[in-house]
Amino acid sequence: MRPTSVPTRTGTSGLRSVVRTTDRRRRLTRYLPHQAPPRLLADPAFRTGFRHLAQRGLSFDAALFHHQLPDLADLADAFPNASIVLNHCGLPATLDAAAAGSAAVFNDWRQALREVARRPNIICKISGFGLPFYGFGFDTRTDTVGHRELAAAWTPYVETAIEVFGAGRCMMASDYPADSQSSGFVPLWNALKFIVRSATAEEKAALFHDTAQRVYRIGKTRQH
């Protein structure tokens, strides 16, 4: 797998997925332009609408924080035939936390993520590391951040996600342009490639292509 030298674009037609962000904690939501009601995933009205996704062949992208992962697990249990994509690895919210607090959040996140991964209808999108919620601090830097420095900070999260979900249920992604707060597009992708440089060819194909193609049915015509 070669380092990225130029960005590439892909395009698909038609609605394939529904994305929803769910959190209202004050120190986190200052970065969120759209705020959802508390416990949205458990709301009966929300679930009434959610019920139609699987019937229409749609997947659901959930953007939430690590303390909300149990709600996502409950949703997946209630709708085992629905395809659910967990965005940004279920953001471990270490923003503004001291070192000890960050370690505690990481442990809580890892435990919750392992529990979520027990639901076979949930897929993990490994993305969003440029967002400030992770607390890496790259967003406050004025110098250029290279891919090896990014990889050093991101590796524990990427490796944990792949460990608990398996490469066949993970997809690499960016959250550009939001990720640009911390790095350029090319260093971001080179960091992700560098982290999994020891993976097998089959695992790399799943992470960077196959899982996304399968889940989002890229290149396939949706049956009406």
Coil vs helix vs strand at 147: helix
pTM: 0.82
Q: List pLDDT tens digits, range 61-91.
A: 999 999 999 999 999 999 999 999 999 999 9
Q: How far apart are CA 224 and CA 15, in angstroms?
A: 12
Taking a C-beta distance cutoff of 8 angstroms, is the pair 211, 169 a contact? yes
The total number of structural domains that make up the chain: 1
Q: Check pLDDT > 50 for residue 203.
A: yes
Containing H/E element for 123? strand 122-126
More confident residue, 180 or 6: 180
Taking a C-beta distance cutoff of 8 angstroms, is the pair 183, 145 a contact? yes
Indicate whether 57 belongs to any domain. yes
pLDDT attached to residue 172: 98
Q: How far apart are CA 97 and CA 57, in angstroms?
A: 40
Indicate whether 6 belongs to any domain. no
Q: How far apart are CA 186 and CA 85, in angstroms?
A: 24
Indicate whether 221 belongs to any domain. no
For residue 184, give its domain range: 17-216
Indicate whether 12 belongs to any domain. no
